[in-house]
Structure 1
């Protein structure tokens, strides 16, 4: 079955942790810190593959996880970077956040290879945190966490001209006659499942891409049948051609059919009605004029001509009138920008909170000793004698998770906490 949407889970790799170690060599009495950095986590990358035209592969495998970065090691050894995951998709695939429905990226136009989730940055080893006052840092930076998302992939066919209409009105026959596409053609009363694309060559180095958009039924905009799946393909096209059965061989009224399609387009997106639209009154070879009956071609022109929709009587079987229809569509395309419709991203990733390396230990006298490069720096420029400065430092300790760590280690009210020569009595706010 043709698949033009899929729901998958993606996750980047976690960054490797920095390492804590010290040089221990013969004849080196006091080796300095030599803990290496952690490796970067793998990215989740989407890439356009011109050889694909469906999302079928994502129907069977719904979870994609990149590799984690390796932890740093002693002797300044850097952890290995995690392996990336590259998801190859057809051009025109829109990646959306499943929860909010917001667009993350549209794999169209210049978006050929896009990093959607970045792997976590590797943590720094303790060799980076030696200072004049802390020459034996017992801490290293943990790797940044992975990012994860549940996303929806939607394939929106890219074509210059889209053929729309009810099932069995001759769209597939018309496409096969004018292009290199070979859709299956039969007298079906249900709709084709997949859109077919073909290149229309008009000669003189002129032509365009035409798509047979699967048949739309009434109620499609509310999700009846596969309506929403089909309507999304129309958004990419620049010109729409309504194909109707002018002869009424299936007992359908061509004017009512066009009105019904226009109604579905408007309900799905009012912007669709702003596209240039032509009407291909098909099957004129089967029209049997009845005495006193209004000519169906004139009915179509009288109804839709005032709305700016030109009517071209054609026979997709014999080819009569088809050339005029194609050249008119080509002329309209020349007046329009060539750039494909590319949807802008409206999704914002939450920035990751910086992990601050620090240690909290309890010495043999029951004092909680807190150390870390950021803490030392904060104490250097914060005036703890002022109420405002002390409040600022307290907020920093809370935001960095240090107060939670003290609670986790069992600190009680009245216990002493030491930080680089400063001693505090611990009290809950």
Structure 2
């Protein structure tokens, strides 16, 4: 042990009376002569101040929010900030796991609440975190007592866009998959009948085309201009569905065209993601009155004339076999008759409109006079990209039952964004 110098007359030793620092300013575990050590070596009492609390919570994606309460200032209890370490198996303590943060956080006030955001490596993962107070010295960092917390990061997130808008990428995600469905095509109106010929049913509109893009790199704050394609109208001259698209900084990330309409009084089905059904028809030697069903999941429409063609690939969300089906083709209108009603075709799954029933008219001495007007096709379900139903055909008659049925409109499209 080193010699202790005791002051004597004419000597150069130092005693407690000449010291200005107490043992509170000497590290615990060290010895020194201080103002309160009575001229003898004393044990230091200085330790790093202790945190009052520590907690963590999931915030967004991989990002979590870490909070702690600063120590209350005290003599001999220095404090500079915190060191946070993490592990996926055990609390890492002062030296284990991986260090993710060192600093004082958002607030340095004595006893104040401080916080910081931490971006963890993975989604949907449980992390064990240790938070240790430290003080910086010329001999390196000195560490205090550790507090622990557990947190689970968020799972991947799917965002549904149903109306044209800008969407801002949130924090905590690095990639996205996108799925677009164009607007469905409008159905065609049925055809008038006359005294010699019954009218054809109108064709169903094609469902909106679909498209999936995977693995697009993203960063927080990027703005996506999302446009939702409108459904084709069922006015006098039905129109195609609109294009659905996602654009970032002028570059198109994903887009899907709208389904096709067959126009005025035309019994072929519209092409699209799933094809529209073709209209029913009648003439003197044939009774093919039933309207064709709309196609589903990328398939063609049904019917005896010219059904619409589907895209030939799945229309399920993100192309997954377990995803929700979109873009059903519109069912066609039934043809009119001169003797009885015939059922129109149904809309395809999911969202296609149903075709309208064809008209019939009876006028004979044995059956009397009876008729039923042609029914209108139905509008497809919104935000499915379904095609509109075709209108029913008019009856073979000179009575008012020869009027055609009106078509249904196609459905608006939709965008799905999967963040991970």
Structure 2 length-normalised TM: 0.23
Higher relative contact order (CA 8 A, sep 6+): 2
Structure 1 length-normalised TM: 0.23
Q: Identify, as 1 or 2, the structure richer in strand.
A: 2
